[in-house]
Amino acid sequence: MPNQSLNSPKADILVIDDTPENLNLLSAMLTQQGYKVRSVTKGSTGLRGANAVPPDLILLDINMPEMNGYQVCEHLKANDRTREIPVIFISALDEVLDKVKAFAVGGVDYITKPLQLEEVLARIENHLMIWKLQKQLQVQNERLQQEISDRAKAEEKFAKAFRSSPNPIAIATVSEGRFIDVNPSFLRMSGYCLEEVIGHTASELDLSKDKEALTQTIQLLPNTESLYNLEFEFYTKSLEVKIILLSIELIDLAGVQCALLIANDITERKRLENEFISLVSHELRTPLTSTMGALDLLAAAQLGTLTEQGQKILRIATTNTERLIRLVNDILDLERMKFGKIFMRKVKCNAADVLTMATEEMQAMADKLQVKLIVHPLAIELWADPDRLVQTLTNLLSNAIKFSKPGDTVWISATLTEHNSIELGKNEHSLTKDTLLPNCLFTIQDQGRGIPKDKLQMIFERFQQVDASDSRNKGGTGLGLAICRNIVQQHDGKIWVESILGEGSTFYVLLPLTAS
């Protein structure tokens, strides 16, 4: 038996025997061993006591007047409250003991008189231990049954929600990205039937422009566990392009890691949003240009001399107007790139020249904020639009400088690399076939505040910033990284970021050396 508290009995034992001498002997023996003992001389009294406060074990004499031990045991086993209590029969050696009947009515053991202390204790402890283990097993079985029931109910609720959801939902394996189930909304959006989807990957079904993008995103899940509001271009079976917001959760199905993909079709919303942004941007550009001209006249004192307070207000107005102009220009740039109205004028250019131009353009800003720039150029030819490439690198350098502290260092470099040595976001990915050739990898590393893990994917989306106050405090528009991504993608390249919160971030731009 397990160790008990000094004030707590080892077990509660009920002794039913019509012989007072036996009762006294058993009570003394068991009490001395730390058991609580209740003694009665009649079977009916024992039944009432057992029903009122069920004991842990019953010692029951067979030969008693009015009601013998077999009858008492039958009554105990017929009562839900007492049926599980182990019953040990007691019989004298010269009495006829019907062993078969003793076990048939529910007894677990028997002891013969005269009683031996060691034998009595051994049998009691043995059956108490068995009874305790049975109770534990019963509790565990009940808990398991409840868990099974709860899980079945949860699975039933999930299945109903999965089938009836207006949002397209799919389940795919993490290892290969193969669909194992999709709901009717997904089939309606995609135009495929269930048999055409199950067992296939997004790449095999040509569901997106970048065939490997969705599979690679799914393979990030073991590290991120969830990804939210990722914007994808989704191709239907009829080659219609839809814009979807995709949220992905890591789930376990029968020991297999799977991805739960929930899509939100925002095609119409994006169309209206783009029309609105384009309209507003064009309508804002003319009055902003006029406003900026008026502010320049005031700053040049051509309309009179301003007081010191007036000059201060003028500087604030000029700064805010410049920021608005940058915002409008960024929006227009992004929209034109997206709809193919800006073409990359690719020529042979030198990576070292591009790095030098980008660094020289940002040197004044770095000096003003007391940030040191270190450049490691690489003299290698690229097939790229040098102006757009400089725009990308200056944008990344601007962010690195803005989020650095005085005295920090920002490094920018270019290296020649092959896809086998590239690690994207600390998760190795098989890049597309065009990256099997040598590539140029631009790296911009800072010592700034870093980016939270849950923000790494979304910072390349429009109007997404790590901190909402950055647009005010740092003068950003929330579009710079979206423009960078668009420029890089139009060069058949890739852009990503790695970051450690509080230690800094490293942005990577991977570009092919030759025209695709």
Give the confidence band of 279 by pLDDT, cuts at 50, 70, 90. Answer: confident
- Give the C-alpha separation, 446 to 401, whole Å: 8
Residue 318, classified by CB atoms within 10 Å of its CB into exposed (0-12), middle (13-18) or buried (19+), is middle
User: Which of 27-31, 268-272, 370-374 has the lowest average pLDDT?
Assistant: 268-272
How many residues can be counted in the chain? 516
In contact, 52 and 96? CB cutoff 8 Å: no
Task: Give me the helix-helix angle, 69-78 and 43-52, nearest 10°.
Answer: 20
What pLDDT score does 72 carry? 94
CB hemisphere CA count around 287 (13 angstroms): 5
pLDDT digit string (tens) for 180-233?
999 999 999 999 999 999 999 988 998 987 777 777 788 878 887 888 888 888
- Give the C-alpha separation, 259 to 172, whole Å: 5
Residue from 477, 493, 395, 387 nearest 439 by CA: 493
> What average pLDDT does the structure give for the chain?
83
418 forms bridges with which residues in the sheet?
none
What pLDDT score does 429 carry? 38
Q: Strand 57-61 vs strand 87-92: parallel, antiparallel, or unpaired?
A: parallel
Give the confidence band of 423 by pLDDT, cuts at 50, 70, 90. Answer: very low
Residue 495: its H or E element? strand 494-500
CB hemisphere CA count around 432 (13 angstroms): 16
Instruction: Determine if the peptide bond prior to 114 is cis (ω within 30°).
Output: yes
How many DSSP H helices and E strands does the chain contain? Answer: 15, 17
Look-up of token digits 């099997």? 436
Centre a 10 Å sphere on the Cβ of residue 493 and count the other Cβ atoms it contains: 24
| pLDDT for residue 507 is more than 50 | yes
Stretch 395-399: mean pLDDT, rounded? Answer: 91
What pLDDT score does 428 carry? 38
Stretch 1-9: mean pLDDT, rounded? Answer: 57
- Give the C-alpha separation, 436 to 440, whole Å: 12
Stretch 129-144: mean pLDDT, rounded? Answer: 90
What residues contact 395, with CB distance under 8 A and at least 6 apart?
480, 481, 483, 484
pLDDT digit string (tens) for 95-125?
556 778 888 899 999 888 888 888 889 999 9
Buried (b) or exposed (e) across 94-110, using 16+ Cβ within 10 A?
A: eeebeeeebeebbbbeb
- Give the C-alpha separation, 237 to 193, whole Å: 10
What pLDDT score does 3 carry? 47
Going by the DSSP 8-state scheme, the letter that residue 304 receives in this structure is: B
Stretch 435-453: mean pLDDT, rounded? Answer: 84
What pLDDT score does 77 carry? 93
Residue from 361, 415, 413, 417 nearest 387 by CA: 361
237 forms bridges with which residues in the sheet?
none
> With a threshold of 0.75, does the pTM exceed it?
no
| pLDDT for residue 312 is more than 50 | yes
Centre a 10 Å sphere on the Cβ of residue 120 and count the other Cβ atoms it contains: 19
* Helix, coil or strand: residue 512: strand
Give the confidence band of 337 by pLDDT, cuts at 50, 70, 90. Answer: low
Centre a 10 Å sphere on the Cβ of residue 340 and count the other Cβ atoms it contains: 8
